[in-house]
Amino acid sequence: MLVPPGVHRAHLGDDAVAVLSVDTGKWQWMNTATERIWSAALSGTVPELVNQMRAQGVPGDVEAIVTGTIEQLQQGGLLTDAGLGSPVLPPPMPAVTAVATPCSRPGWTVRMMARVGLALALAVMRLPMSARMRLLNGLRFLPSAPPSVAASAAAAVLLVRPACWPGRIACMEVSLATVLTIGLQGRRAHWVLGARRLPNEAHAWVWTPAGALGLSGRDVDDPRRPWVGVAAAPPIHSFE
Protein backbone atom coordinates (compact mmCIF):
# COMPACT_ATOMS: atom_id res chain seq x y z
CA MET A 1 0.00 0.00 0.00
CA LEU A 2 0.99 3.65 -0.35
CA VAL A 3 2.38 5.36 2.74
CA PRO A 4 2.86 9.06 3.50
CA PRO A 5 6.42 10.45 3.56
CA GLY A 6 8.13 9.87 6.88
CA VAL A 7 5.99 6.87 7.78
CA HIS A 8 7.44 3.36 8.23
CA ARG A 9 5.51 0.14 8.67
CA ALA A 10 6.31 -3.52 9.19
CA HIS A 11 4.29 -6.70 9.58
CA LEU A 12 4.61 -8.34 13.00
CA GLY A 13 2.76 -11.53 12.10
CA ASP A 14 -0.85 -12.68 12.57
CA ASP A 15 -2.21 -9.67 10.67
CA ALA A 16 -0.60 -7.21 13.09
CA VAL A 17 1.25 -4.18 11.70
CA ALA A 18 3.45 -1.67 13.53
CA VAL A 19 3.56 1.83 12.09
CA LEU A 20 5.93 4.63 13.08
CA SER A 21 5.70 8.28 12.07
CA VAL A 22 9.18 9.74 12.37
CA ASP A 23 7.68 13.23 12.09
CA THR A 24 5.71 12.83 15.32
CA GLY A 25 7.69 10.01 16.91
CA LYS A 26 4.43 8.16 17.56
CA TRP A 27 3.81 4.44 17.21
CA GLN A 28 0.58 2.73 16.26
CA TRP A 29 -0.22 -0.97 16.15
CA MET A 30 -2.88 -1.92 13.64
CA ASN A 31 -4.99 -4.93 12.90
CA THR A 32 -6.31 -5.75 9.44
CA ALA A 33 -9.43 -3.61 9.87
CA THR A 34 -7.50 -0.51 10.94
CA GLU A 35 -4.99 -0.88 8.13
CA ARG A 36 -7.86 -1.26 5.68
CA ILE A 37 -9.32 2.08 6.84
CA TRP A 38 -5.88 3.70 6.71
CA SER A 39 -5.38 2.50 3.14
CA ALA A 40 -8.79 3.85 2.12
CA ALA A 41 -8.05 7.23 3.71
CA LEU A 42 -4.73 7.46 1.88
CA SER A 43 -6.25 6.51 -1.45
CA GLY A 44 -9.37 8.65 -1.08
CA THR A 45 -11.78 5.72 -1.16
CA VAL A 46 -13.41 6.03 2.30
CA PRO A 47 -17.04 6.20 1.00
CA GLU A 48 -16.49 3.03 -1.01
CA LEU A 49 -15.01 1.29 2.04
CA VAL A 50 -17.96 2.31 4.23
CA ASN A 51 -20.36 0.80 1.68
CA GLN A 52 -18.30 -2.38 1.48
CA MET A 53 -18.25 -2.76 5.28
CA ARG A 54 -22.00 -2.28 5.48
CA ALA A 55 -22.53 -4.86 2.74
CA GLN A 56 -20.30 -7.27 4.64
CA GLY A 57 -22.46 -6.88 7.75
CA VAL A 58 -19.91 -5.20 9.99
CA PRO A 59 -21.77 -4.57 13.28
CA GLY A 60 -22.29 -1.09 14.73
CA ASP A 61 -22.26 2.37 13.20
CA VAL A 62 -19.78 1.76 10.37
CA GLU A 63 -19.43 5.43 9.45
CA ALA A 64 -18.70 6.38 13.08
CA ILE A 65 -16.13 3.58 13.36
CA VAL A 66 -14.35 4.69 10.21
CA THR A 67 -14.46 8.38 11.16
CA GLY A 68 -13.11 7.70 14.66
CA THR A 69 -10.29 5.56 13.28
CA ILE A 70 -9.33 8.25 10.76
CA GLU A 71 -9.20 10.84 13.55
CA GLN A 72 -6.80 8.62 15.51
CA LEU A 73 -4.65 8.17 12.42
CA GLN A 74 -4.52 11.92 11.89
CA GLN A 75 -3.50 12.50 15.50
CA GLY A 76 -0.71 9.97 15.06
CA GLY A 77 0.63 11.76 12.00
CA LEU A 78 -0.26 8.90 9.67
CA LEU A 79 -2.45 11.03 7.42
CA THR A 80 -0.90 14.21 6.10
CA ASP A 81 -1.66 16.94 3.60
CA ALA A 82 1.45 16.05 1.60
CA GLY A 83 -0.41 13.98 -0.96
CA LEU A 84 -2.11 10.62 -0.82
CA GLY A 85 1.05 8.69 -0.23
CA SER A 86 4.36 7.64 -1.66
CA PRO A 87 4.95 4.53 -3.78
CA VAL A 88 8.48 4.29 -2.33
CA LEU A 89 8.43 1.96 0.65
CA PRO A 90 11.19 1.98 3.27
CA PRO A 91 14.04 -0.42 2.52
CA PRO A 92 13.62 -3.92 3.94
CA MET A 93 14.80 -4.50 7.48
CA PRO A 94 16.90 -7.50 8.49
CA ALA A 95 15.44 -9.95 10.95
CA VAL A 96 17.02 -10.06 14.39
CA THR A 97 18.67 -13.41 13.80
CA ALA A 98 21.75 -12.98 15.99
CA VAL A 99 22.67 -11.07 19.09
CA ALA A 100 26.26 -9.82 19.18
CA THR A 101 28.44 -11.26 21.93
CA PRO A 102 29.28 -8.79 24.71
CA CYS A 103 32.96 -7.99 25.09
CA SER A 104 35.19 -7.80 28.14
CA ARG A 105 35.74 -4.47 29.90
CA PRO A 106 36.52 -1.88 27.18
CA GLY A 107 39.69 0.17 27.29
CA TRP A 108 40.10 3.75 28.52
CA THR A 109 40.01 5.28 25.03
CA VAL A 110 36.70 3.63 24.16
CA ARG A 111 35.20 4.65 27.50
CA MET A 112 36.15 8.28 26.86
CA MET A 113 34.55 8.11 23.41
CA ALA A 114 31.46 6.58 25.01
CA ARG A 115 31.20 9.56 27.39
CA VAL A 116 31.23 11.87 24.39
CA GLY A 117 28.80 9.64 22.51
CA LEU A 118 26.39 9.58 25.45
CA ALA A 119 26.56 13.36 25.86
CA LEU A 120 25.86 13.79 22.16
CA ALA A 121 23.00 11.31 22.31
CA LEU A 122 21.33 13.12 25.20
CA ALA A 123 21.61 16.39 23.29
CA VAL A 124 20.35 14.88 20.03
CA MET A 125 17.38 13.30 21.82
CA ARG A 126 16.03 16.82 22.35
CA LEU A 127 15.51 17.06 18.59
CA PRO A 128 12.50 15.62 16.76
CA MET A 129 12.92 12.01 15.71
CA SER A 130 13.03 12.98 12.04
CA ALA A 131 15.99 15.30 12.73
CA ARG A 132 17.83 12.59 14.67
CA MET A 133 17.48 10.18 11.79
CA ARG A 134 18.67 12.77 9.26
CA LEU A 135 21.76 13.43 11.35
CA LEU A 136 22.56 9.73 11.58
CA ASN A 137 22.22 9.37 7.83
CA GLY A 138 25.62 11.06 7.58
CA LEU A 139 27.19 7.87 8.95
CA ARG A 140 26.26 5.96 5.79
CA PHE A 141 29.58 6.84 4.18
CA LEU A 142 31.61 5.11 6.92
CA PRO A 143 32.71 1.47 6.69
CA SER A 144 30.67 -1.01 8.68
CA ALA A 145 31.79 -1.64 12.25
CA PRO A 146 33.47 -5.00 12.91
CA PRO A 147 32.11 -7.08 15.81
CA SER A 148 34.88 -6.08 18.22
CA VAL A 149 34.32 -2.34 17.73
CA ALA A 150 30.55 -2.61 18.04
CA ALA A 151 30.60 -4.81 21.14
CA SER A 152 33.27 -2.66 22.83
CA ALA A 153 31.28 0.54 22.23
CA ALA A 154 28.07 -1.02 23.54
CA ALA A 155 29.79 -2.19 26.72
CA ALA A 156 31.47 1.19 27.21
CA VAL A 157 28.20 3.13 26.97
CA LEU A 158 26.68 0.96 29.70
CA LEU A 159 29.73 1.52 31.90
CA VAL A 160 29.70 5.32 31.61
CA ARG A 161 25.94 5.69 32.00
CA PRO A 162 25.49 7.75 35.19
CA ALA A 163 23.72 6.04 38.07
CA CYS A 164 21.83 9.20 38.92
CA TRP A 165 20.38 11.24 36.08
CA PRO A 166 17.36 13.55 36.23
CA GLY A 167 16.16 12.52 32.78
CA ARG A 168 15.62 9.35 30.84
CA ILE A 169 18.50 7.10 29.76
CA ALA A 170 16.81 4.01 28.38
CA CYS A 171 16.93 1.95 25.20
CA MET A 172 16.66 4.85 22.77
CA GLU A 173 19.36 6.92 24.47
CA VAL A 174 21.70 3.97 25.04
CA SER A 175 21.40 2.62 21.51
CA LEU A 176 21.82 6.08 20.00
CA ALA A 177 24.90 6.68 22.17
CA THR A 178 26.33 3.36 21.00
CA VAL A 179 25.86 4.25 17.34
CA LEU A 180 27.49 7.65 17.92
CA THR A 181 30.39 6.10 19.85
CA ILE A 182 31.00 3.72 16.96
CA GLY A 183 30.80 6.67 14.59
CA LEU A 184 33.46 8.54 16.59
CA GLN A 185 35.73 5.59 15.81
CA GLY A 186 35.13 6.05 12.10
CA ARG A 187 32.78 3.09 11.76
CA ARG A 188 29.10 2.65 10.99
CA ALA A 189 26.32 0.98 12.90
CA HIS A 190 22.58 1.40 12.45
CA TRP A 191 20.08 2.78 14.95
CA VAL A 192 17.02 0.55 14.65
CA LEU A 193 13.54 1.38 15.90
CA GLY A 194 11.37 -1.69 16.10
CA ALA A 195 8.32 -3.26 17.65
CA ARG A 196 6.69 -6.51 18.69
CA ARG A 197 3.19 -7.57 19.65
CA LEU A 198 1.20 -9.17 22.47
CA PRO A 199 1.72 -7.04 24.42
CA ASN A 200 2.56 -4.26 21.98
CA GLU A 201 6.01 -2.84 22.70
CA ALA A 202 8.51 -0.57 20.98
CA HIS A 203 12.27 -0.77 21.41
CA ALA A 204 15.49 0.65 19.99
CA TRP A 205 18.67 -1.27 19.35
CA VAL A 206 21.90 -1.25 17.34
CA TRP A 207 22.38 -3.37 14.23
CA THR A 208 25.52 -4.36 12.36
CA PRO A 209 26.08 -7.27 9.98
CA ALA A 210 27.62 -9.10 12.94
CA GLY A 211 24.40 -9.02 14.92
CA ALA A 212 22.17 -6.89 17.11
CA LEU A 213 23.18 -5.05 20.27
CA GLY A 214 20.73 -4.00 22.96
CA LEU A 215 18.51 -7.09 23.04
CA SER A 216 19.07 -8.48 26.50
CA GLY A 217 17.32 -8.72 29.85
CA ARG A 218 13.59 -8.06 29.50
CA ASP A 219 14.20 -6.98 25.90
CA VAL A 220 15.78 -10.23 24.75
CA ASP A 221 14.48 -11.37 21.39
CA ASP A 222 11.74 -13.97 21.83
CA PRO A 223 11.01 -16.29 18.87
CA ARG A 224 7.36 -16.43 19.98
CA ARG A 225 7.04 -12.64 19.63
CA PRO A 226 10.20 -11.46 17.86
CA TRP A 227 11.32 -7.88 17.49
CA VAL A 228 10.81 -6.53 14.00
CA GLY A 229 12.78 -3.54 12.74
CA VAL A 230 10.51 -0.79 11.40
CA ALA A 231 12.95 2.06 10.66
CA ALA A 232 16.72 2.48 10.74
CA ALA A 233 19.23 5.30 10.47
CA PRO A 234 21.30 5.22 8.40
CA PRO A 235 18.94 3.15 6.22
CA ILE A 236 19.92 -0.48 5.74
CA HIS A 237 19.77 -0.80 1.95
CA SER A 238 21.09 -4.34 2.01
CA PHE A 239 21.98 -6.89 4.61
CA GLU A 240 25.62 -6.21 3.80
So what's the pLDDT on residue 87?
36
Mean pLDDT of 203-207: 94
85 within domain boundaries? no
So what's the pLDDT on residue 85?
43
**How far, in Å, CA of 194 to CA of 211, rounded?**
15
Query: Do 117 and 186 share a domain, yes or no?
Result: yes
Query: Do 117 and 187 share a domain, yes or no?
Result: yes
So what's the pLDDT on residue 155?
92
Query: Do 208 and 118 share a domain, yes or no?
Result: yes
Is the pLDDT higher at 63 or at 217?
63
So what's the pLDDT on residue 101?
64
Total domains in the fold of the chain: 2
224 within domain boundaries? yes
pLDDT at 51 over 70: yes
Query: Do 144 and 209 share a domain, yes or no?
Result: yes
Q: What is the pTM of this model?
A: 0.86
The per-residue pLDDT for range 113-154, each reduced to its tens digit, is 999 999 999 999 999 999 999 999 999 999 999 988 999 999
**How far, in Å, CA of 78 to CA of 82, rounded?**
11
11 within domain boundaries? yes
81 within domain boundaries? no
200 within domain boundaries? yes
Query: Do 67 and 114 share a domain, yes or no?
Result: no
Q: pLDDT band at 54, cuts 50/70/90?
A: very high
Query: Do 71 and 118 share a domain, yes or no?
Result: no
So what's the pLDDT on residue 167?
82
**How far, in Å, CA of 147 to CA of 156, rounded?**
14
Is the pLDDT higher at 236 or at 120?
120
Name the domain boundary from 30, 57, 75.
75
The per-residue pLDDT for range 167-178, each reduced to its tens digit, is 889 999 999 999
Query: Do 219 and 121 share a domain, yes or no?
Result: yes
pLDDT at 86 over 90: no
> Which residue in 134, 218, 123, 212 sits closest to 175, CA to CA?
212
The distance from CA 73 to its chain's CA centroid, rounded to whole angstroms, is 18
pLDDT at 90 over 60: no
Is the pLDDT higher at 183 or at 32?
183
Q: Which residues are bridge partners to 144 per DSSP?
A: 188
Q: Which of the residue ranges 101-105, 204-208, 233-237 has the most confident prediction, judged by mean pLDDT?
A: 204-208
169 touches 114 (CB < 8 A): no
Sheet holding 7-13, edge to edge: 7-13, 16-21, 26-30
13 within domain boundaries? yes
Query: Do 145 and 193 share a domain, yes or no?
Result: yes
Domain that holds residue 202: 108-233
Query: Do 118 and 63 share a domain, yes or no?
Result: no
Neighbours of 117 (CB within 10 A): 25
32 within domain boundaries? yes
pLDDT at 223 over 70: yes
